[in-house]
Structure 1
Amino acid sequence: MSRSLDSARSFLEQLEARGGHKAAILSGEFRDIRARSASWKTEGVCSTEAASQLGNMKKNRYKDVLPYDQTRVILSLLQEEGHGDYINGNFIRGADGSQAYIATQGPLPHTLLDFWRLVWEFEVKVILMACREMEQGQKKCERYWAQEQEQLKIGLFSVILTKAMQVNADIMLRTLQVTFQEKSRSVHQLQFISWPDHGVPNNPDCVLTMVEEARRLQGSGPGPLCVHCSAGCGRTGVLCTVDYVRQLLLTQTIPPNFSLYDVVLEMRKQRPSAIQTEEQYRFVYHTVAQMFCSALQNASPHSEKLKENRSPLRGDALSFRTSPALPAIPRPLGVILRSISVPGAPALAMEDAYAVVQKRGAPEGAGPEPSGRRAEESPLYSQVTRAPCGPGRTRLTSGPGRKTRGGRSPAIQGPAWPGACEDVANGVQTGGLGFNLRIGRPKGPRDPPAEWTRV
C-alpha cells in the first residue's frame, strides 16, 4: 500500500477514534477556524481594500463577503473599454499548487459582463454552480447562460446554448458556445439544483458526481474551474475542498500528517468564509471519509486479486462514490472503518437449510424404470428446503419418476413413499449416502460438489 493510502487510513482511524464526523470535537474545530479567520483582518494578514472602494462596493452581492486583496482575481480584458479590474472572486490553489479554482459570487445584473470577462480571460472550460437562481423567494444569482433557442448578448459576448441534459436528479449539465471578437469556445456549466443555502446535500455521492464530471469535462487542458454559489463562500468552499482532496488522492500525494482542519483553514486564507457553517464542515469530513474508504477498499488484497483476473471492483477507477451494487446504508462511521480494518465483504445473514438427497433406489412398491432410462440420470441433489418433515427427519422435495412437462420434478408436500425421509440423529446420519446432514450458518462462501444440481 502506498504512503498516500497509509495517510488516508490514518485519517480514518483518527476520525473514528474521535467519534466520526458527528463528533462534538468538530464543533470546537470549526469555532477555532472562524475565530482565526476573523483575526486575520485585525492582524493585517488579509485585507479587502479593493472591494471596499466606492466604485466597487456596488459589485458585491453581500457586504460581509469581500474578496481578499492577496488572492483576488484582477481583470485586464476590456479595460481599454473603460471597465475596471474588479470582480468579487478569489483564486484558490489546487493540490499541485497552481491556481486551480476561481471562487466567485453569483453574478448581479450589472456584473454579468465582468463574469464573462473572467471566464474568457482565464480560459475557464467548466463552471460549477451550487445554487439556483431563486431560493426561498430571493434572487440568488442572475442568469448568465442562454436558454434554448436564445442568443444571449452580454456586451461583446454572445452566448448560445448548444446542449442541456440532466446528469441525475440533482445536477444539470449545459454546454454553451461563447463567442468574443469572432472567436468561439465551448464552456460547460454544471448546476447543482437541490443544494439548500447554508445547508448540505443528502449524501456525498451527488457532490462526488459533480466534481468527477467537472474533471472529466475539464480534461488535461489549462484553466481553472470557476466555482460559485450565491455568495461564493459556503457551498463553493465545500466543492473546492472536496475536489482538492480528491486530487491529492488521485495523485497519491496525501501528506502523512493530512488534516482537514488545515485544508479548510488554508482555503479560508484565500477566499473569505469558505465552508460557511459547521454543518458544511461536518459534511466535508463525511465526504472525504467516503472517498478514503472507497480508495482503501479498491486497494485491498481482494480488489487486487479481482484486477489480476481482469474483473475490476468498479468500472470507473476514478470514482469514489458508493458502488451501485452496495447501496449506502445509514450506519455509524465507526462501522465503516472497522470493515476497512479487516477487508472483506460482510457475510449475508442466512437461514438454516437442509441439503436434500435424491435417493438412488426406487421406493418400495414402485414400478420398474421406464425403458432406456438409467439410474444415473436421477440427480443426486434436487433442491434445498427449510421445512423439516418432522423431529429428526428431512423432507425430500422431489421423487423419482415424477416429471412435469418441462422435465422438472414437482415439489412433494409430504413423504410419498416409505424411506422418502432419512433419519438424522444427533447430527449423524443413520443410513443412506451420508449427505443429509443439517447445514448450519455458513462461515463464508463455498463451492458445492460437482454433483449438485443448481437451483
Structure 2
Amino acid sequence: MSRHLDLVRSFLEQLEARDLREEAILAREFSDIKARSVAWKTGGVCSTKVGSRLGNTKKNRYKDIVPYDETRVILSLLQEEGHGDYINANFIRGTDGSQAYIATQGPLPHTLLDFWRLVWEFRVKVILMACQETENGRKKCERYWAQKQEPLQIGPFCITLTKETPVNADIILRTLQVTFQKESRCVRQLQYMSWPDHGVPSSPDHILTMVEEAHRLQGAGPGPLCVHCSAGCGRTGVLCAVDYVRQLLLTQTIPPNFSLFDVVLEMRKQRPAAVQTEEQYRFLYHTVAQLFSRTLQKASPHYQNLKEGSFPRLSPHELTSAPTVTSIRSVASPPSPPDFLQNCAPICKDASSLRTSPALSATSRPPGGVLRSISVPGPPTLPMADTYAVVQKRGAPAGTGPGTRVPSSADAPIYSQVAPRSQRPVAHTEDARGTTPPGHVPADQNPPGPDAYEEVTNGAQTGALGFNLRIGRPKGPRDPPAEWTRV
C-alpha cells in the first residue's frame, strides 16, 4: 500500500512541477501521439484492410475512422443468415490484459442489427454512451433502445425499456430487457447527455461518477464494457482511459513510470484516434489527477485538498467526515490505512506542498466548500534548558601506561552541568584568608550582557585532553565570534 501511494503522489508531484509549462508540454505530447498514429498507418503497423473493403465501407459512419484489423471485433452470431462479420468496433485491453472494452461507433440505421449482435454475442451488460442522437443539427447516433411503452424490434432482437432514471444532471440510466430466441437478458445503458462533440465536459466529477456506476452495474461477472460516442474514438477514448486508470488504482498496480502519454498511445494502437483532440487529452490529465487525489484522501488521514479549485468540491457532510490531509508530498504512510478506494491550466498547480504537523489535526475547517490554503503551525517551541551538559574528558594520569588507568576519587565526572551566568549564584571571590575557594569561577568584574558567550570550563585543565566551550543564547543563524577559536 505504501509503495502504491508513493507512486500516486509521485504522479501528482510531476504534474505540479510542470507549473506554467504544462500547456506547452501537453501540446507537445499530443502532437507526438498524433505523429506516431499517422506513422503506424502509413507504415502498415496498424492496417485497416477489412474496414476498407467495398462491402464494409458503407458501415463506417466516418470514412477516416476505420477499425484496425488486429483488434477489430469479429461477429459470428447470425452469419449463417447472411450477415457478415464486420462492425466498426475494436477491443481495447484492460489492466489485466483481457478484452475489457469494446470501442465502437454510434450505430447507423443499417447497422442497428450488427450492434445488437455484438451486445448479445459478447454478453455486454453495460453500455456507455457519450453522445446524443443529434448534435448541432446533425445525426450522431441512431436510437437503438426502446422508449416507454414502445418496444423496439430489430431483426430477431426485441428491446423493451423497463426503467429510466436520471443519475445526475448529465447522466441517464436506462434498464433494457433484450430478448433473443426466447432468452431474455438485462442490459443497462448510461448516457452522458451534455458532452459536446470534439469537446470536454465542464467538470470531471460526472465522468468519474459514470465509470463508477458502470462497474457497480457490471458486477463481478464477465463481459466487456461497450463504450461509444458518434465516431467511437474521442469521447470513447477518454472514458476508456479514465476507467483503465481507475482499475490500476483499485488493483494497486500503478507502474513505477506511470504515464498517461503511454496509456493513450497504447489505446491508439487498438482503436484509431482514441482521445481525439488536445483538449480531450488535457481533460483526461485533469480527470486522472482528481482521481489520484481522491485516492490519497481515502487511503490516508494525512492528505487533503490545499487550495480552492485544485480538486473536487466537498459537500458540508464530506467536509466534516473527510480525513485531514496536509500534503501530496508527505513521506509518512498512515498506520493501518483503510481500503482504497477546471479545465486545467495548469493541472495540480494548486496542490501546494506543506509539511505535515501534529498540530494540524486541530485546524478548523470551513463549514462548506473546499478547504482553503492553510498555514501549518510548527511544533511548539520548547523553552531553553537552565543547564547545559559539558563533556569533561580527562587524560590518563602521568606515569601510567597506554593501556592502564589508575582510578582516583578525585576524578571529575565526564559530564557536568553548567548554569547560565544570569542564573548562577554570586560567587565569593575570596574566602577569609583572601584565597579563591576550589571549584569556584572568579566573578567577572564587568558582567556581560544577555547575549554574551560564557566560559564553561569548570576549572583549569592543564595537560589534559578536553573541550573548552563557550555557550550563549541562541540567536538564529550567525557566524561564531572571532575570539571563539580555542579548543
- Please, what TM-score do these two structures have when normalized by structure 1? 0.70
Please give the per-residue CA displacement for 1:331-385, whole angstroms capped at 9, x wherever unaligned. Answer: 96445422587586875589xxxxxxxxxxxxxxxxxxxxxxxxxxxxxxxxxxx
Structure 2 CA distance for aligned equivalents of residues 129 and 157 of structure 1: 20
Q: Report the Cα distance in structure 1 between the residues aligned to 2:29 and 2:213, rounded to whole angstroms.
A: 31
Change (3 A) 1:272 1:341: farther
Bigger proportion of residues as strand: 1
Q: What is the CA deviation profile of residues 300-356 of structure 1, one whole-angstrom value per residue up to 9, with x for unaligned ones?
A: 24489xxxxxxxx9xxxxxx9653236999996445422587586875589xxxxxx
Alpha-carbon shift at residue 44 of structure 1 (Å): 1.4
Q: Distance in 2 between matches of 1:86 and 1:294?
A: 41
Corresponding residue number in structure 2 for 1:216: 216
Describe the superposition over 1:250-285 as per-residue Cα deviations: whole angstroms up to 9, x where unpaired.
110001110000000000000000000000000000
Deviations 1:47-105 (A, max 9, x none): 00000011000000000000000000000000000000000000000111110000000
Structure 2 counterpart SS, 1:338: coil
- Contact 2:203–2:343, Cα closer than 8 Å, also in 1: no
Aligned twin of 1:74: 74
Q: Output the CA distance in 1 between the equivalents of 2:297 and 2:33.
A: 32
* Equivalent residue letter for 1:337: A
Say how many residue pairs are matched: 336
C-alpha contact 2:130 2:195 (8 A) present in aligned 1 = yes
Aligned to 1:201: 201
CA distance in 1, matches of 2:206, 2:366: 30
CA contact (8 A) 1:71 1:91 kept: yes
Give the 3 Å change call, closer, same or farther, for CA 258–340 of structure 1 in structure 2. farther
Provide closer, same or farther for how the CA distance between residues 112 and 342 of structure 1 changes in structure 2, counting only shifts above 3 A. Answer: farther
Change (3 A) 1:20 1:124: farther
- Deviation of residue 144 (structure 1)? 0.1
Shift of 1:41: 1.1
- Which residue is 1:126 aligned to? 126
Distance 1:271 1:195 in 2: 20
Residue equivalent to 1:61: 61
Distance 1:20 1:342, change over 3 A: farther
1:323 maps to: 314
Tell me if 1:338 matches 2:329.
Answer: no
Task: Give 1:94's aligned amino acid.
Answer: G
Instruction: Give me the TM-score of the superposition, normalised by structure 2.
Output: 0.65
| Contact map agreement 2:286 2:344 (CA 8 A) in 1 | no
Q: Does 1:114 align with 2:114?
A: yes
Alignment of structure 1 residues 208-287 onto 2, 5 Å? 208-287=208-287
Q: Deviations over 1:158-216 (max 9, x none)?
A: 00000000001100000000000000000000000000000000011010000000000
Q: Any conservation in 2 of the 1:30–1:281 contact (CA below 8 Å)?
A: yes
The 1:4–1:82 alpha-carbon spacing in structure 2 relative to 1, beyond 3 Å, is same
- Contact preservation (8 Å) 2:41, 2:47: yes
Secondary structure of the 1:164 match is: strand
Does the CA-based 8 Å contact 1:122-1:224 persist in structure 2?
A: yes
CA distance in 2, matches of 1:100, 1:216: 15
Q: Residue 101 of structure 2 aligns to a residue in which SS?
A: strand
Instruction: Name the CA distance, whole Å, in 2 between partners of 1:222 and 1:213.
Output: 16
CA contact (8 A) 1:205 1:322 kept: no
Distance 1:21 1:62, change over 3 A: farther
1:204 to 1:154, Cα distance in 2 relative to 1, 3 A: same
User: Post-superposition shift, 1:7?
Assistant: 1.1
Root-mean-square deviation (CA, aligned residues, Å) is: 2.5
- The CA distance in 2 between the partners of 1:336 and 1:297, in whole Å, is 16
Query: Unaligned 5+ residue runs, structure 1?
Result: 305-312, 314-319, 351-455
Is the CA contact 1:41–1:47 (under 8 Å) kept in the aligned structure 2?
yes
Structure 2: unaligned runs, 5 residues or longer: 306-310, 320-341, 368-487
Q: Structure 1's 49 and 200: CA in aligned 2 closer, same or farther, altered over 3 A?
A: same
Q: Say which SS state the counterpart of residue 66 (structure 1) adopts.
A: coil
Q: Highest CA radius of gyration, 1 or 2?
A: 2
Write the letter of the residue equivalent to 2:292: F
Partner of 1:309: none
Q: How does 1:22-421 map to 2 (within 5 A)?
A: 22-302=22-302, 322-325=313-316, 333-334=347-348, 336-338=350-352, 342=356
> CA-to-partner distance for each residue in 1:193-240, whole Å, 9 max, x for gaps?
000000000011010000000000000000000000000000000000
| Partner Cα distance (1:295, 1:64) in 2 | 38
Is the 1:72–1:90 Cα contact (8 Å) retained in structure 2? yes
- What residue number does 2:3 align with? 3
How far did 1:297 drift?
1.9
Identity of aligned residues (%): 72
Label 1:158 to 1:332 Cα distance change in 2 as closer, same or farther (>3 A).
Answer: same
* CA shift in 2, pair 1:235/1:10, >3 Å: same
